[in-house]
Every structure is written in C-alpha cells, then in structure tokens.
Structure 1
Amino acid sequence: MKFVKEEEDKTDDYIFQKDQKTKSVSSFTLIVLIILILGVVASGFYFKWF
C-alpha cells in the first residue's frame, strides 16, 4: 500500500490522494489543531499553570 496517490495513477490502494478534497481537509485539520493548541496555551496562562 502506497502513502500518496499521484493523479495519473489508476488504483485506489492509497491513504492520501493528490486532489482538492484531500488538500482542503488537511488544511482544515491543521487549522483546528493550531486553534486547539492556542486555546490550551491561553488557558494555561489564564489559570497560571505556566
């Protein structure tokens, strides 16, 4: 099983594909993770854990 599918490959045996849906979902996931990390850091400063 390969990890990334190129657009010219004809098989579905891949984890990620190089298409618009994969790029948008990975961007969304990255943004959500950054927001969560910032929230944890902000709450740590607010409650004086750091």
Structure 2
Amino acid sequence: MASNNKYNHSTEDYIVEDNKKTRFGGTFIAIILILLIAAVAVTGVYLGYW
C-alpha cells in the first residue's frame, strides 16, 4: 500500500534533531550565557554592588 505523504520518514520528525548543528548551537548558546553571567558578576563587583 503506497503512502501519500510527501516525506516518508521511518522515524518521528522533531524540531530539534540530535545532530552536529544542534549540539554546536546548544553548546554555543550555553557558553555565551555563561560569559554574560560572568560579565554581570564582574561588573557588579567592580562597581561595588556586591
């Protein structure tokens, strides 16, 4: 019996797939967030807020 689907995938389609691009993107975003948090902390210490 033929399928009428335009894309005939044997697995579910996910928005975020586990591949190199998503792993790199997640790691990149995590590093940027850590750097921003560190910058805010250093600024707070430097300006005497903490």
Q: TM class by shorter-chain length?
A: 0.7 to 0.9
Structure having the higher strand fraction is 1
Q: Percent identity?
A: 34
Structure 1 runs, 4 residues or longer, greater than 6 Å off: none
What do you get for the CA RMSD once the two structures are aligned?
Answer: 1.5
Q: Structure 1 unaligned runs (5+)?
A: 1-7
Flag the structure with more relative contact order, 1 or 2, with Cα contacts below 8 A and sequence separation at least 6: 1
Q: Which has the larger radius of gyration?
A: 2
What is the TM-score with the length of structure 2 in the denominator? 0.73
Q: Structure 2 unaligned runs (5+)?
A: 1-9
Aligned residue pairs: how many?
Answer: 41
